[in-house]
Amino acid sequence: MFPARAGLNRRNALAQTAQTLINLACAIAKTPGMLTQAGQFFNIILDELALIKDLEVNRGLWQINTGSPVGYSITSNIPYYNLAPDHLRVLEDECFYLISGVPYTLIQKQLSDFDQLITTTGFNSQVVFYAVDDSTTPSQIFFWPPPNAAYTVNIRYEKSTADMADPATSALVSAFPLQQYLIWELSARMMDLSDDDRVEKQHSKATELMRKWEVMQRDMESTVLRVKLDRNRFSTPWDLLKNTKEVGF
């Protein structure tokens, strides 16, 4: 989600409200009488950014205590827990817990693979795998083996979108920082709606601006890249792990 906010911080001291962005976009598109439609497109654009982009401004942290499950799965009787109300997806390798200061990063599995894991009465241990069920509201997360203690699991995730009630008259500011992109992309949508032949050029301008911004956000010029293997296939089998009673192994 790109949350709306009424106040501005120093970095965004010149940020414009949703109403201002929509008025500017409609002026560019020459559709001043279509503010309602522009507001609808404004929410759609923010929703698309959350769904298809991996942006740091759209991340959150959620914590779960494994000692307090919400319920138990029908298929395997494994406890499950609710994820954040605005949960969209878990970031890669960002589901972990600490024991005596030592982090344990969990491995994600698909639900179909998770259902094939052994669950016998009395079988509990330190958590190794997790799976997410996004078919429920809120989304649910499962851990395996069933936890043998109350661990605090930290989950960094990307947020889903919360629409503004009436963007065309809103005095709130979207947390998405690249406002020129919002203006150009919104004006392109309005041009498409009014059958304006400038639509492709305007959309290209917005796309190129987003590309440049993403490159700067992920400036990798002096960063060493590392190829990672699938931990479900190349990690040490859970039953062959070293003694976890020794800190710092």
Distance between CA 139 and CA 130 in Å, rounded?
A: 13
Work out the pLDDT band at 2, boundaries 50, 70, 90.
low
- The verdict on residue 242 lying in a domain is no
Residue owning tokens 């439609």: 37
Considering the domain architecture, whether residues 39 and 15 belong to the same structural domain is answered as yes
Considering the domain architecture, whether residues 111 and 62 belong to the same structural domain is answered as yes
Average pLDDT, whole number, for the chain?
86
Work out the pLDDT band at 88, boundaries 50, 70, 90.
very high
Distance between CA 135 and CA 76 in Å, rounded?
A: 17
Return the structure tokens found at 179: 């406002």
- The verdict on residue 240 lying in a domain is no
* Closest-CA residue to 96 (of 155, 157, 158): 155
Considering the domain architecture, whether residues 145 and 181 belong to the same structural domain is answered as no
Considering the domain architecture, whether residues 38 and 64 belong to the same structural domain is answered as no
Considering the domain architecture, whether residues 62 and 155 belong to the same structural domain is answered as yes
- The verdict on residue 150 lying in a domain is yes
- The verdict on residue 234 lying in a domain is no
Residue 44 has what pLDDT?
96
Tens-place pLDDT, residues 23-81: 999 999 999 999 999 999 999 999 999 999 888 888 999 999 999 999 998 888 889 99
**What range defines the domain where residue 191 resides?**
4-56+162-217
How large is the greatest C-alpha to C-alpha distance in the chain, in angstroms?
A: 69
| Residue 225, pLDDT above cutoff 60 | no
- The verdict on residue 212 lying in a domain is yes
| Residue 216, pLDDT above cutoff 90 | no
Residues in the chain: 249
What are 140's strand-pairing partners?
A: 82, 133
DSSP-derived 3-state class of residue 169: helix
Considering the domain architecture, whether residues 135 and 106 belong to the same structural domain is answered as yes
Percent of the chain with pLDDT over 90: 65
| φ, ψ dihedrals at 145, nearest 5° | -60, 160
Number of domains in the chain: 2
Residue 12 has what pLDDT?
56
Which region among 59-68, 159-168, 210-219, 224-233 has the lowest average model confidence (pLDDT)?
224-233
* Closest-CA residue to 167 (of 51, 16, 10): 16
Return the structure tokens found at 172: 């709130």
| Residue 233, pLDDT above cutoff 80 | no
Q: Would the CA dihedral through 184, 187, 192, 195 be positive or negative?
A: negative
| Residue 246, pLDDT above cutoff 80 | no
Mean pLDDT confidence for 174-180 = 91
Work out the pLDDT band at 232, boundaries 50, 70, 90.
low
Considering the domain architecture, whether residues 127 and 64 belong to the same structural domain is answered as yes
| φ, ψ dihedrals at 76, nearest 5° | -130, 0
Work out the pLDDT band at 249, boundaries 50, 70, 90.
very low
For 48-80, b/e burial (b = at least 16 CB within 10 A) is ebbeeeebeebebebebebeebeeebeeeebbb
Work out the pLDDT band at 9, boundaries 50, 70, 90.
very low
